[in-house]
Amino acid sequence: MVKKVEEQKIVEHKHDKKIRKWQWWVIGVVLFIGLVILIGAFVLNGFMGKSEAVTEGELSVTVLDSGVTVTRDDSGVPHIDAGSDADLYRAQGFVQAQDRLFQMDLARRQASGRLSEVVGDAAVSTDRFFRTFSLRHAAELSYDGYGEEAKQVLAWYAEGVNAFIESAKEEGTLPFEFTILGYEPEAWSEVDSLTIGKYMAYDLSGNWSTLAFRHWAVGALPEEKARELFITYPENAPAVIEANRDNPVNIAFGDVPLPPEHNGSNNWVVSGDRTESGEPLLADDPHLGLSTPSIWYQMHLTSPEQNVSGVIFAGVPGIILGHNDEIAWGVTNVGPDVQDLYIEKQNPDNKRQFWFDGQWEEADVRNEPINVKDGETVEYRVVTTRHGPIISPVMDGPDSNTLFSMQWTALEPTLELQAVLNMNKAENWEEFEGALEDFHSPAQNFVFAAKDGTIAYKANGRIPIRKTGDGQLPVPGDSSDYEWTGYVPYDELPTLVNPDEGFIATANNAVVDESYPYHITDFWAQPYRYQRIKEVLAENEQMTVDDMMALQMDIKNLYAEEFLDDMLQAIRSSQQADQFEEELTILDEWDRMDHKDSAGPLLFHRWMKELPLVLFEEEIPKDAMELFRGTNHITDQMMRDSFSGKESVWVEEYGGVEVWLGDALSRVVDDLSEEFGEDSTDWRWGDYHQVYFEHPLSSALPVLAWLLNREGPIETSGSQITVQAQGYGADGVADHGGAWRFVADVSDLSSTYHLVGPGQSGHVKSDWYHDQIEDWIDGNYRETVTDPEKVEGQVLELTP
């Protein structure tokens, strides 16, 4: 017995030793993995840190004529002080490349249709699209039209960018993203800068997709139903309607990179009669994509010829929005109809010829081979008629039975950079308005304030005049009856100087009424942001900088003010009322502020977004819905009509407004219960509505997402229709909004207020990479000074 016990103890001892051995082995493996990760992190940290911008000390930049001082302030804003404009623009190119070279290279590649060269097969469809849209070709045409002064600025800027590229290649300090993708950047050219400018015109001029959708709707739906999907239906253009009915389009739109639908912005200017300082105040927050790095790069440029501060797109010289010592300015998007689709008739015996006014005309054909990393070159060609490029292959597949060409103001030679350079040096409204004459595309609402007390507004850019129609549908390309006859004369563009009201505001709203003699668009933004801005400005006769900043962060929901009471009444009068007792109470008690801690905005916005889905999903295919922009404009009008007693065909066929609203709300409540729990009193807008500044490489690997997207998604207040605006997708993540916010008091233009989300630098190890995210969400503005005597920070001397 004793022997058995001892044997058992020996067995247990051996077992314990095995367990301990196994445990030590596991611990050893864990320690080894941890050590490898630690070493890897150390190596990665060193590798990435090697490419971080040098911001202090001295650097040799061989292209300079004289020394240039670059002082980066506490927010990372570079203040460049040069002895000449030549060295100023060279230094601007060098400094932008220090902080944003990868972003600059990616931007020129995307706009030029050359992403496949560095990312492979996945980008071929995107490259086809941008080759077809011909942005780089348009930039080349524009370059030829520039004067010598602007060409010289472009050359100086390119010299600075290339000085950095050459130095970084020699020292092995190129941004780490190039190493990850396995390539080195090419030399920068003057046309690269103009191509990035053309891409911004593309991002702000997206009505071609609406025309394509309407073409489908007219051909596929009964006329009375198609009619209700237009803001205004083209009553007096029967030939246009027939052309669209006779040419039905295949719905296979696929992977088309459409610009964001909510490319809006806010700006306003207040005269000195209504401000505490006695001089004008100006505010601007242009709404574009929210990303890492920011689409905007803030700079302060000083030479004997100028002292200008504000923002520019990385890759472009000058300052496009901001101020100098005498004036300040800002923009919103006009959003005019500047893209027309033409239904082209091709010669069956010669594919390069198209019928026009009784004869075959030869099209221009450009060979655009697409080089693919680790793949075969894709042969591609762009065919351009008298109207513009044939876009059907990228719009609805190569087997389309309708050939569309696109005429677009941005594809013509334009001179925006020339305008920017002259705006930077303007000292009054007359000089500034004169500079604007060269700002052709995209059309922008400029607001202006000057130290002499002037406040002004101009809707600027080329807006076409059509011989027939108003650009709401594709038109026959075989007849001169549908040609453009010119543009709205510059001195007849909407303009306002020193109005009696004492302020001017725009938020992509209608800027003219029916008395205006020219067509701009019928597709203005919903008016709620503009109405709220005007409401606040009208109530306050002693505006301050703090008031302006507070208004930019305003979250009052005037959309709900218009519709919600009628919507609730419709539900309460329906058979579904008992089903939503708790949700109706939440909406009743909601203060109509889109605050992140409130359940009201979550219910309201999800309900409004569900309405077009419920109404249209049975009859409009998914591919067509992708091109159907502004669906809520249409359903809003249907609700207005229903509440006033004249129900639309769509709503009537559905079963009436009560059934429509009830079904949509039922789906929303079911979805929210699944996402956030059964108790609707625990729901919060911020649990759904969040902001995420995503780096373009972060989607490639989870470790890159962890590394490059420092923070987020983060809860945020506001919505797409509040002044604090953020456009968001089906997942609630805001990816579009005022990445730059700006407020200026012209009584002291040496000190202005800004926010750049998420930060200034494009380098993940920089202190200025994501340092403004929380401030951007909370509205804590940064002060930027432009008095050379007061500029402080990290000083870098650039020497010849």
Q: Which residues are catalytic?
A: 265
For 745, the 3-state DSSP assignment is: strand
- In angstroms, the CA 242 to CA 265 distance is 37
> Which residue blocks in 617-720 are alpha helix, DSSP H?
622-627, 631-643, 649-654, 657-676, 685-688, 702-708
DSSP type of residue 409? G
Neighbours of 432 (CB within 10 A): 23
Q: Are 109 and 117 a contacting pair, CB within 8 Å?
A: yes
For 439, the 3-state DSSP assignment is: coil
Q: Are 759 and 297 a contacting pair, CB within 8 Å?
A: no
Q: Mark the binding-site residues for Ca(2+), compressed into ranges.
A: 337, 340
Residue with tokens 């780490």: 176
Neighbours of 792 (CB within 10 A): 12
Name the nearest CA neighbour of 628 among 617, 640, 638: 617
Q: Are 582 and 678 a contacting pair, CB within 8 Å?
A: no
Q: Are 762 and 100 a contacting pair, CB within 8 Å?
A: yes
Q: Is 623 exposed, middle or buried (0-12, 13-18, 19+ CB in 10 A)?
A: middle
User: How do strand 350-356 and strand 346-347 relate by DSSP bridges?
Assistant: antiparallel
Name all contacts of 652-660 with Cβ < 8 Å and 24+ positions apart.
654/614, 654/615, 657/570, 658/570, 658/571, 658/573, 658/574, 658/576, 659/574, 660/611, 660/614, 660/615
* Inter-axis angle of helices 148-171 and 190-203, nearest 10: 100
Tokens found for residue 294: 């920011």
- In angstroms, the CA 654 to CA 642 distance is 12
* Beta carbons within 8 Å of 354's beta carbon, 6+ residues apart: 344, 345, 346, 347, 360, 361, 363, 385, 386, 477, 478
Which residues face 356 on adjacent strands?
Answer: 359
Q: Which helix (H) or strand (E) holds 80?
A: strand 78-81
DSSP type of residue 260? P
Which residues face 496 on adjacent strands?
Answer: 457
CA distances from 326 to 5, 80, 307, 334, 681 (A): 98, 19, 10, 26, 53
User: How do strand 740-745 and strand 281-286 relate by DSSP bridges?
Assistant: antiparallel
- In angstroms, the CA 496 to CA 20 distance is 84
Name the nearest CA neighbour of 339 among 381, 395, 396, 387: 387
Q: Count the helix, strand and coil residues of the chain and give each as a percent rounded to the nearest 5.
A: 45, 20, 35
For 41, the 3-state DSSP assignment is: helix
Tokens found for residue 683: 């729901």
| Chain-centroid distance, C-alpha 591 | 30
- In angstroms, the CA 748 to CA 734 distance is 34
Q: Mark the binding-site residues, compressed into ranges.
A: 337, 340
- In angstroms, the CA 515 to CA 494 distance is 12
How much is the CA Rg of the chain, to the nearest whole Å? Answer: 29
Tokens found for residue 162: 């290339």
CA distances from 122 to 77, 119, 373, 694 (A): 36, 7, 10, 19
